[in-house]
Amino acid sequence: MTAKTLLKVSGLKVSYGGIQAVKGVDFEVREGELVSLIGSNGAGKTTTMKAITGGLVANDGDIQYLDKSIKGQGAWDLVKQGLVMVPEGRGVFTRMTITENLQMGAFIRSDKAGILEDIDKMFALFPRLKERRDQLAGTMSGGEQQMLAMARALMCQPKVLLLDEPSMGLSPIMVDKIFEVVRDVSAQGVTIVLVEQNASRALAIASRGYVMESGLITMTGLGKDLLVDPKVRAAYLGE
């Protein structure tokens, strides 16, 4: 039995600054999947994610979430519906502690006991955050802030979690940790869309993958199949 489609993008076109960055993109994400969207810098990956989550207005096409069009809806409304993005650059509240950032992640919730329980779950998933729970987020390393941004997003109890370049600018050790956490979160049943320039790592953990070039989807397939595809290896894996 095929899993339910949670997110479906059809003919998406997005322009900004007079440039058409996304030129008619189609893809879908089914319940429980970890879908990777790979491509070089400037391919249109981040623009696509921003259009889906209300950060940019699409010129054409449609975005269906839970079988309803969400085109034109704002990020606030989408978060309340369970569609949550961790943006490139993390965007943590630098003058708040780690614990306060996690509490902010639960701003749409009123179940106090559940919130406390989920904070404990985040500390179990990210032990480094637990060690520094009273530290100001702005004093943490880039990798630690990335962990916090992911944990804060999970406090919203997302149905679909979009991660935009979570490994960008991180040390190799921290990249390993971030991908380990992404895999663990996926294993817990959270549906994930992973946008990554690190194609080999992204495809290695993906159920399915899409390759994006110059604002268009040019290839799609199972993550394991794209990982060994000669065209993908030549273009994105340096082989």
Q: Where are the domains of the chain?
A: 32-51+77-236
Report pTM.
0.94
The two structure tokens encoding residue 29 = 């994400």
Q: Is 131 exposed, middle or buried (0-12, 13-18, 19+ CB in 10 A)?
A: exposed
- Residue 124 CB partners (closer than 8 Å, separation 6+): 130
Interhelix angle for 142-154 vs 172-187, to 10°? 10
The phi and psi torsions of 123 (rounded to 5 degrees) equal -70, -30
Candidates 64, 47, 59, 53; CA nearest to 4 is: 64
The CATH number of the structural domain formed by 32-51+77-236 is 3.40.50.300
How would you write the pLDDT of the chain (239 residues) with one tens digit per residue? Answer: 678 999 999 999 999 888 899 999 999 999 999 999 999 888 999 999 999 999 999 999 999 999 999 998 999 899 999 999 999 877 899 999 999 999 999 999 999 999 999 999 999 999 999 999 999 999 999 999 999 999 999 999 999 999 999 999 999 999 999 999 999 999 999 999 999 989 999 999 999 999 999 999 999 999 999 999 999 998 887 65
The position carrying tokens 């989408």 is 78
* Location of structure tokens 């076109």: 13
